Amino acid sequence: MPERVLRFSPAERAVHRATGLLFLVCLLTAVALYVAPVAQLVGRRLLVETVHEWSGLLLPVPALLGLWSGPFRADLRRLDHFAEHDRRWLASLRSSDAHRGRLAGKFNAGQKVWASWLAGAVLVMLGTGLLLWFRFALDVVPRAGVVLVHDVVAYALVVVVAGHILKAIADPEARRGMRTGAVRRSWAAREHALWLGQSSSPSALQASQAADDAA
């Protein structure tokens, strides 16, 4: 039985990296636009504003391109399915035992909630950003309200993504899975026991890559 189990296909890792890069560009350009000392240091406001707008507009594109990948579509279905063991996983957060009752599939309940929230937040940011970009729409929508929603969701995104990064820093094996595509079997058994049985074939890596290519 192989020591490592395939967790993410090359297409899935590419989507993750491209989305992360676009988010970073959005964040840095927002800082350069709205934090006065940084704005004065960077200058070139029109260029920074253009880069911010286009990086925000392109933010959903990696995920849309990822729909060509079979493994990516399969993981979207997993994230969209909330089962009884997910409810038990959330209930177990009140327990002092870090793993008691926390059986999870490929994604635990926390990751499913995170993914759903992130998708909604990106749509809100995209919608409010387009309203601010095409200013004629603000004749019927109050600009102050659009700016408020855009800013509040942006701050929330920064906090939530920072939490995501801190969780990744605390779990080297999870980071390795996103970087290389494979994780240790012992880690999968501890963190995602319900998923491990689906990935126990010695040819899992080749099968998943074949599915990715076929998609």
User: What pLDDT, on a 0 to 100 scale, did the predictor assign at position 66?
Assistant: 93
3-state DSSP call for residue 135? Answer: helix
User: What pLDDT, on a 0 to 100 scale, did the predictor assign at position 203?
Assistant: 44
d(CA 144, CA 191): 45
Q: What mean pLDDT is predicted for residues 79-88?
A: 87
Residue 166 has pLDDT above 90, yes or no: yes
User: What pLDDT, on a 0 to 100 scale, did the predictor assign at position 206?
Assistant: 46
What value does the mean pLDDT of the chain take?
Answer: 84
Topology of the domain covering 4-214? Fumarate Reductase Cytochrome B subunit (1.20.950)
User: What pLDDT, on a 0 to 100 scale, did the predictor assign at position 102?
Assistant: 73
User: pLDDT band at 15, cuts 50/70/90?
Assistant: very high
Residue 197 has pLDDT above 50, yes or no: yes
d(CA 41, CA 132): 24
Helix pair angle (70-80, 204-214), 10° resolution: 100
Residues in CB range of 60: below 8 A, 6 or more apart: 122, 123, 126
Q: What mean pLDDT is predicted for residues 91-112?
A: 76
Helix pair angle (70-80, 109-133), 10° resolution: 100
Residue 210 has pLDDT above 80, yes or no: no
Q: What mean pLDDT is predicted for residues 89-111?
A: 76
Residues in CB range of 97: below 8 A, 6 or more apart: none
Residue 207 has pLDDT above 60, yes or no: no
Q: DSSP string of 1-32?
A: --SEEE---HHHHHHHHHHHHHHHHHHHHHHH
Lowest mean pLDDT among 46-60, 105-119, 196-210: 196-210
- Helix (H) or strand (E) holding 6, with range, is strand 4-6
d(CA 161, CA 123): 16
Residues in CB range of 117: below 8 A, 6 or more apart: 160
User: Sign of dihedral through CA atoms 169, 175, 179, 184?
Assistant: positive
User: pLDDT band at 190, cuts 50/70/90?
Assistant: confident
